[in-house]
Structure 1
Amino acid sequence: MIGGRPTLLRRLARDATGATLTEFAFVGPVLVLMVMGIFDMAHTQYTAALVNGAMQKAGRDLTLEGAGSTEASIDQRVIDQVSAVVPSTASVELEKLSHFDFSDVGQAEEFDDDNGDGVCNNGEVFVDVNENGQWDSNRGEEGIGGARDVVLYTAVVTYPRLFPMYGLAGMDQNVTLRSSTVMRNQPFDQQDRSSETGNCV
């Protein structure tokens, strides 16, 4: 029996049975993670392209005269297009801000910075461009505005990832896509740029 042990050990050392299974145990998880990651990225890119396309079409439709009467159906069309390719638990938030001109998009309401701290406070006077009674870092007024107004139309889509690999790859559980389009309404009337003033709190 003692003389047989070296022979048995030599046979076991030369035996390659099951080597492939062992190697796959090391390579398999990485391979699966890569495949799921590729599918996840591809789906995200496809969804982003679809959202951008839907927003461009909706933006053009919203700039037409009389768009106010079809605004709800235009919004719903965007939601339906996005919902067709994302999980049912996804949320689609739409925001429309109208501005007097392209140069106003993303700009804060002007105010008299009397104390020079760069913050609208201490009763400083500001121009209430969007007429909501408070100073805003974005002077856009909610809605699609009127004739010749510039509309910033934004969609924010949030949905859980399709594949359960986000934790292993250090990714967030949810995907958040943001798409915006800026269009000018048709000149079917004159613009009104009258604005009230208010006091910062």
Structure 2
Amino acid sequence: MIRMLKGNRTIRSFARDTEGAALTEFGMVAPILCLLVMGIFDLAHTQYTSVLVNGAMQDAGRNLTLESAGSQQSSIDQKVIDQVQNVVPANATVTLEKLSHFDFSDIGEAEEFDDENGDTICNNNEVFVDANGNGTWDANRGSTGIGGARDAVLYTAVVTYPRLFPMYGLAGMDQNVTVRAATVLRNQPYDEQDRSTETGNCP
């Protein structure tokens, strides 16, 4: 009987002992807290990168509208790349694309064709307007490059880099971040716009 009483006291004493409770609780909360903190920093860095890329594109867009832009494309592109690489890891990839169009309304539009069979597909030797002059029908009628006078140009940058914090696995996120920015500009009217087009036949 005396042994049972002593045993009960020991159990009650052990139950009232709270030493180490804070460490145990912290061990349970720490992973979630770390994930939250890293996620906030990751989101903030992504937003900052996006703002910087958009700003660099706007600045480059203004320079590309000038008549002298043809000889300065590489230096303008490099300036964008240099600005982006200041805030992203060294192994980041920066892809720049320029597509010129006759007008703003042409951006993102497919080349027109005579849909004789009504299937909305360019085929069966149907005639199409070869707006970009590459000899084939394209879902995007833009021509590679900045074009000529008065042309509307879509200038796009795609930046891809690995996340700065190793929390993507815990959160089920992609290992890489992709930031996309674009600006639309119109070349200065330093000459008459070339609106000549050719036709081709769909395959």
1:48 is paired with a residue whose SS is helix
RMSD: 0.9
C-alpha distance after superposition, 1:31-69 (max 9, x if no partner): 110000000000000000000000000000001011111
Where in structure 1 are there 5+ consecutive unaligned residues?
none
Mapped to 2, the partners of 1:177 and 1:135 lie a distance apart of: 30
1:144 is paired with a residue whose SS is coil
**Residue in 2 that maps onto 1:30:** 32
- Among candidates 55, 65, 68, match of residue 66 of structure 1: 68
**Residue in 1 that maps onto 2:95:** 93
Quote the offset at 1:2 in angstroms. 4.4
**Residue in 2 that maps onto 1:76:** 78
**Residue in 1 that maps onto 2:192:** 190
Residues 166-177 of structure 1 mapped to structure 2, 5 A cutoff: 166-177=168-179
Quote the offset at 1:4 in angstroms. 2.3
**Residue in 2 that maps onto 1:125:** 127
* TM, length-normalised to structure 2: 0.97
**Residue in 2 that maps onto 1:44:** 46
C-alpha distance after superposition, 1:92-134 (max 9, x if no partner): 0000000111111111100111111111112111100000111
- Among candidates 140, 156, 176, match of residue 154 of structure 1: 156
Mapped to 2, the partners of 1:160 and 1:113 lie a distance apart of: 45
Mapped to 2, the partners of 1:37 and 1:125 lie a distance apart of: 53
2:79 is paired with a residue whose SS is helix
Mapped to 2, the partners of 1:114 and 1:21 lie a distance apart of: 76
- Percent of aligned pairs with the same residue? 72
Where in structure 2 are there 5+ consecutive unaligned residues?
none
Number of residue equivalences: 201
* TM, length-normalised to structure 1: 0.98
Mapped to 2, the partners of 1:98 and 1:132 lie a distance apart of: 13
Mapped to 1, the partners of 2:183 and 2:132 lie a distance apart of: 20
Query: 1:169 is matched by which residue type in structure 2?
Result: A
Query: 2:72 is matched by which residue type in structure 1?
Result: T
**Residue in 1 that maps onto 2:112:** 110
Comparing both structures, which one devotes a greater share of its residues to helix? 2
Query: 2:196 is matched by which residue type in structure 1?
Result: S
1:198 is paired with a residue whose SS is strand
